[in-house]
Amino acid sequence: MAEINWKGVDLNLLVAFQALLRARSVSAAASELHISQSAMSHSLSRLRTLLGDPLFHRSGHKMEPTERALNLGSDVEQVLSVIKNNILSPEKFDAETFSGTCRLGLTDYAEFVFAPLIFDALTEQAPNVKVSFINVNRHNFVDIIEKERLDLVIGSFPELGEGFESQELYKESHVFLFDPVATGLSTPVSLEDFCSLPHALVSPDGRWVTPTDSMLAKQNHQRNVQVISRNFLTIGQLIKGRNLICIVPKLMSMIPYISDGLTRAKPAIEVSDFTISMVWKSGLASNDKQQWLQSRVATAVQNNQLKENKQ
């Protein structure tokens, strides 16, 4: 295909062509566009040169289109419509009629706790929306945002680099869970019992040592981590019926599937809270759909947190 000389392409020429095709008169087309007749004649001359076709020929008092002009009519109309409606005047987002996909990255914890709430919050206003939840963690979320073209991610993440914005949703505290029958424990649990009993550890990155172990070491204590898993569901099932205890986020401990038959207690040592944030690529927030999505997600998560805090 021959290379196009874009210097000769002028959007105004397409507008002039459309007016000529509609009016079939140089003077009438000029009047429609509020330009002089000579300016319209000049545009027609440029169109003929650009497209290599006469486009219109005089027949009495009218300008009759050539076959090429008639064939181009619908294409030009479509191009101008796309430019007008999609580029110069983008359609305002309407949740009620939206049938596209919202792509959200959630950590294991965030997905288990919030996926149902987020789905309900989105479909309440956008009944035809499609929702895709994609697993991320604090180490890979930047790559996954790019690879999966995510609208936003939710979880506990390190300091963000350039190109990202965030909103803090809430701070999460910790409790520890145990099976009172299998462990023989009752509350309150002493620091000695806390350290002597075998621990199950939720470790998204596979590490056996956490800041809790560093805190214990400062007090000349050490706990016995016997099993680790990257998945909260696995840990919940491990604790039931076994001589194991486990520190978990408070919201996770309040989910019946995890905590049924288990006792929840305050850790015998101070465990640092962590921040749950919503993160997105810079520049997206000006998009109507993005603003709606962020608002619905933040409201759903924060309202749930307020409800749980009252319990």
Residue 2 domain-assigned?
no
- Residues 32, 35, 38, CA angle at the centre, nearest 5°? 115
Question: Would the CA dihedral through 73, 76, 79, 85 be positive or negative?
Answer: negative
Q: 145: helix, coil or strand?
A: helix
Residue 147 binned pLDDT confidence (cut-offs 50, 70, 90):
confident
Q: Which domain holds residue 54?
A: 8-88
281 shares a domain with 215: no
Domain total of the chain: 3
3-state SS track over 148-195: HCCCEEEECCCCCCCCEEEEEEEEECEEEEECHHHHCCCCCCCHHHHH
Under the banding of pLDDT at 50, 70 and 90, the label for residue 309 is: low
Task: Please indicate, yes or no, if residue 96 is contained in any of the structural domains.
Answer: no
Tens-digit pLDDT profile for residues 96-133? 999 999 999 999 889 988 999 999 999 999 999 999 99
Residues 6+ apart with CB under 8 A from 159: none
Give buried/exposed letters for 271-310 (b at 16+ CB in 10 A, else e): beeeebbbbbbeebeeeebbebbbebbbebbeebbeeeee
Helix count (H) and strand count (E) of the chain?
13, 12
- Give me the DSSP letters along 241-276: TSS-EEEEEHHHHTSHHHHTT-EEE--SS----EEE
1 within domain boundaries: no
Strand 263-265 versus strand 174-178 pairing type: antiparallel
Q: Taking a C-beta distance cutoff of 8 angstroms, is the pair 100, 130 a contact? A: yes
- Pairing state between β 198-202 and 174-178: unpaired
Residue type at 293 in one-letter notation: L
Task: Answer yes or no: do 185 and 217 share one domain.
Answer: yes
pLDDT reading at 1 higher than 70? no
Which helix (H) or strand (E) covers residue 134, if one does? strand 130-135
What are 204-249's pLDDT values in tens digits? Answer: 778 898 888 998 999 999 999 999 998 888 888 899 999 999 999 9
| Residue 90 three-state SS | coil
Within-domain flag for 95 = no
pTM (global) more than 0.75: no
Question: Do 30 and 108 belong together in one domain?
Answer: no
Q: 166 with 280, same domain? A: yes
Task: Assess whether pLDDT exceeds 50 at residue 173.
Answer: yes
85, pLDDT greater than 70: no
153 with 123, same domain: the answer is: yes
Question: What is the spatial order of strands in the sheet that 152-155 belongs to?
Answer: 130-135, 101-106, 152-155, 274-281, 164-172
Same-domain pairing of 31 and 48:
yes
- The reply to whether 190 and 150 lie within a common domain is no
Same domain? For 65 and 180 the reply is: no
